[in-house]
Structure 1
Amino acid sequence: MEENQQEPSFEQLLNESEAREIKRVQPGQALEGKVVMVSKGTVYVDIGMRTEAQLELAEDDERYQALEEGQTIQVFVSKTKQPIGLSLDPVMGYGDMSVVRDAHEAGKPAEGKVQSAIKGGFEVNIAGVRCFCPISQLGFRNDDDRAAAIGQTYEFKIIEFDESSENVVVSRRALIEERREEKIRETRKKLIPGSVLQGRVRDIQSFGAFVDLGGLTGLVHISQLSHQNVARVEDVLEVGQEVEVKLLETRIDNAGKERISLSIKALLPDPWDTLAFEIGQTVTGEVVRISNFGVFINVAPAIDGLLPLRFMKQSGRSVDLDSFEVGQKLEVEVVDINTQDRKIALGLPGWNEEMRSSLKPGDELRAEVIKVIPAGVLVQGLDDPARGLIPKRTLKHTSMKQIVDQFPPQSQHDVILEEIDDRGRYTFSLKGQSESIDGKTLDAFLEQDDALNNNPFASFFKDRG
């Protein structure tokens, strides 16, 4: 060490320290300080004075939780008496009016903190300048939301500015409306039928879901949610959900309001494009709806077919509608496919089979009178497809009037099958009044042309003649 270089004396060090030390601070003054200690909501900050200044913050404040010892922060003087009080926000009443002036002249928003509620509105701190926001201009509809806004920071539009009187009126609502109108203008440019848009579900009703497209709201009708039948909109969507939709149309209704129709279904794969059914194929389906003209059956995802009454048969026998219930699983046959109209006709297995009798001579059955003809009485089995003749000569009454009176159409009688000839013709007798009729007698009768005149079942017998 050189001889002329001496260590500074204590007096020199003290003088240098006092020269660097801040003697006095002003309210609202902006300073840089170093965090010395963080303890129970109080932050001790070295701002260059003999004693640390104090910054009070709520322990649940995110800014408080982010502070650490040794960290350099910007602070504002809120109290000049010992201990010096500090704030992280500009101190209202000692602010920079140029910040507000520049924002007003440029028509740009300024960031401000809602300080407190006062008569008719709220005090807003913008760069330390005390501003007034009318209650209607804060942009919240109810008192709870307004109360929750105190202590929060938002952007505001300067709607009145008088620098000489330091009168500043601000509005958050005006800024929200301006941005909403700008968003609507941008969204409207995209409203081209067939375009695909992004949106958010804002409300759900029984008839569909309202989707916010960005300032404009469209409706996805329940029928446009899916290719499958949707019973409840809530089963498919929920409020707040982000969705992709296709624009079907925009129109003005009778009340002059704009209506925007949207579809989610139009963006989903069409199940008809991959349908691989063939006519005659047997498939398993589930009954989804019963009407007076048939039964609707779900045979594939999003594809329902109709089982009409005319195909509601098995082995030639009609099946009653009461035999079906919603949710029932059953096998059906694909009768017809119309991809253009998106329709599938279904039939029960055996729907096109002819009715066949299982009767043999000597069997008894209940039969219904079809008609009285000169040869006797034509009858149809109730529980069997067999139909045939009770010959006149086997009846106790021989006059036609007596036979007609005894056997009115649709009257029912117990009969016995007497014979099935080699032509498949059935001969019956009344139960308890049996007498066989030979085939020659029946052939002789059928050879008489007049015997079959006015007989609606003549073709039945002739086809078997």
Structure 2
Amino acid sequence: MSEEMDNLEVGNFSEGDKVKGTVTKIEEKQVLVNVEGSKVDGIIPISELSSLHVEKASDVVQEDEVLDLVVTKVEEELLVLSKRKVDAESAWEALEERFNNNLVFDAEVNEVVKGGLVVDLGVRGFVPASMVEDHYVEDFSDYQGKMLSFKIVELDRDKNRLILSHRIVLEEEKEQEKKSLLEKIEPGETLNGTVQRLTDFGAFVDIGGVDGLVHISQLSHEHIEKTSDVVKEGDQVQVKVLSIDRDNERISLSIKETLPGPWTNIEEKAPKGAVLEGKVKRLVSFGAFVEVFPGVEGLVHISQISHKHIGTPHEVLQEGEQVKVQVLDANEHDQRLSLSMKELEEAEYQQKDYEVPEESKGFQLSDMIGDKLKNFKK
């Protein structure tokens, strides 16, 4: 009679029926449950506990826990059940809503596998390696257990296929930051940035989500041949905004404008009377321009080149020649520096004029006067 009752109880259920079951025992490869309305045992194979691979059933359920289940098979005196299918059914509905509305959501990375990450969303979600970050990542082992924001990029319920992307979320955030920054910044502002990449014509600098170009002519007050002579990738720099093209998302920046100019404090660097060394940069009819500091050229007027009369500076000087000059006057406001070479020649000439010849050393004035007196007595 008891056997007939059990068969009757099993016969009340069909494949696909949804039931509630209380966990009574957790074994290595299966879970036993007490099914409401049945006097026979229900069994959940470990493969039917979760959409993910499960090593231990106890990692998913615990004794006395009440579960929503679906009947997958009716056997004599036994119901085979699935927790995974119930979870998946309700999960697909939520996932379809997120996919249709292009929603962003947070989820924990459950597994790191070859080729990407696995996320449990009631169904198995896969994040290909190329969709994890917006930059190359060599090792994903640190991502286990990490919370990330995702968007669904592919969903196929029939094929049980769910593809997620964290990279798209990052790219959209950066694009929004870029638009916001383009609206806020104005020419003349000074900002901090990071050098992203170098080109022959300048450097691209990230100023907080958007790149601006520092043309090679705006890198330094000095003339430079290569961008890499001044900056390298990763450098933290200060830049001044020169212009903004919001329609084409182009920003022109300058590092040079944030640096002290070559004429700053020129009165201190080149005080009146100071002797400096420089290079003859240009020769003109009225004198020579000599560079004494990077970006600072002073004029040696033709009248100040030599104590001898000369018709043109070319008679005594040539471009590229290293010379010594004396500062006559310096003016930072007008960026004017007056120099002289003649003053140094005259000083040298006078020094030589007053030097006592080597052969006369050892004679005393009294000796010379004595000789004169002797002649006078005669």
Which interval holds the TM-score relative to the shorter structure? 0.5 to 0.7
Higher Rg of the two aligned structures: 1
- Verify: 1:180 aligned to 2:180, yes or no: no
- Paired with 1:111 and 1:393, the residues of 2 have a C-alpha distance of 106
Structure 2 equivalent of residue 68 of structure 1: none
Q: Which of 25, 29, 40 lines up with 1:116 in the alignment?
A: 25
> Residue 142 in 1 paired to residue 58 in 2?
no
Shift of residue 213 of structure 1? 6.5
Q: Partner residue of 1:161?
A: 74
The offset of 1:367, in angstroms, is 0.4
Deviation, structure 1 residue 189: 7.6
Matched to 1:217, the amino acid is G
Structure 2 distance, partners of 1:250, 1:345, is: 39
Whether 1:272 and 2:182 are equivalent positions in the alignment is no
Whether the aligned pair in 1 keeps the contact of 2:84 and 2:122 (CA below 8 Å) is no
Q: Give the letter aligned to residue 279 of structure 2.
A: E
339, 357, 370: which is aligned to 2:246? 339
User: Which letter does structure 1 place at the counterpart of 2:43?
Assistant: C
Post-superposition Cα deviations, 1:241-263, rounded to whole Å, max 9, x if no partner, equal 7x6x666x5599xxxx9754442
> 1:128 & 1:425 partners in 2: Cα distance?
105
Distance 1:354 1:146 in 2: 68
Identity of aligned residues (%): 12
CA shift digits 1:320-345 (9 cap, x unpaired): 9479x9667x6x54211122343332
Aligned length: 299
Give 3-state SS (helix, strand or coil) of 2:296's partner.
Answer: coil
Per the alignment, do residues 157 and 99 of structure 1 end up closer, same or farther by CA in structure 2, a change over 3 Å counting?
farther
Which TM-score applies when normalising by structure 2?
A: 0.53
1:354-375 Cα shifts (integer Å, max 9, x gaps):
9657568754222013378999
CA contact (8 A) 2:205 2:211 kept: yes
After superposition, residues 333-412 of structure 1 pair within 5 angstroms as: 333-347=240-254, 362-370=273-281, 379-382=290-293, 385-388=296-299, 394=306, 409=320, 412=322
Partner of 1:170: 80
Instruction: Flag structure 1 segments of 5+ consecutive residues without an equivalent.
Output: 1-27, 29-92, 225-232, 436-465
Is the Cα contact below 8 Å between 1:117 and 1:150 reproduced in 2?
yes
Answer yes or no: is the 8 Å Cα contact 2:70–2:86 preserved in 1: no
Match of 1:429 among 318, 341, 349: 341
Q: Is the 8 A contact 1:419 1:428 kept in 2?
A: no
Let me know the Cα RMSD of the aligned residues: 5.7
Q: 1:264 deviation in Å?
A: 6.2
Point out the more displaced range, 336-345 or 177-186: 177-186
Higher relative contact order (CA 8 A, sep 6+): 2
- The answer for unaligned runs of 5 or more in structure 2 is 331-335, 348-378
Spell out, residue by residue over 1:49-74, the C-alpha distance to the aligned partner (whole angstroms, 9 max, x if none). xxxxxxxxxxxxxxxxxxxxxxxxxx
Matches within 5 A, 1:85-234: 98-104=8-14, 107-116=16-25, 121-126=30-35, 127=37, 129-131=39-41, 133=43, 135-137=45-47, 139=49, 141-143=54-56, 145=58, 149-162=62-75, 166-172=76-82, 175-177=83-85, 179-180=87-88, 183-184=91-92, 187=95, 191=99, 195-197=101-103, 199-203=105-109, 215=123, 217=125, 221-223=132-134
Structure 2 contact 290–298 (Cα < 8 Å) conserved: yes
Query: 2:364 — aligned with what?
Result: none
CA gap 1:132/1:217 in 2 versus in 1, 3 angstroms:
closer
- Taking a change above 3 Å as real, the CA distance of residues 202 and 183 of structure 1, as seen in their structure-2 partners, is same
- Work out the CA distance in 2 between the residues paired with 1:266 and 1:321: 33
Superposed displacement of residue 203, structure 1: 1.9
Q: Deviation at 1:210?
A: 7.4
The change in CA–CA distance for 1:343 and 1:408 in structure 2 (over 3 A counts) is closer
Match status 1:416 vs 2:323: no
Deviations 1:93-146 (A, max 9, x none): 997654532221x63033333433679745443345233637445526223617
Secondary structure of the residue that 2:85 maps to in structure 1?
helix
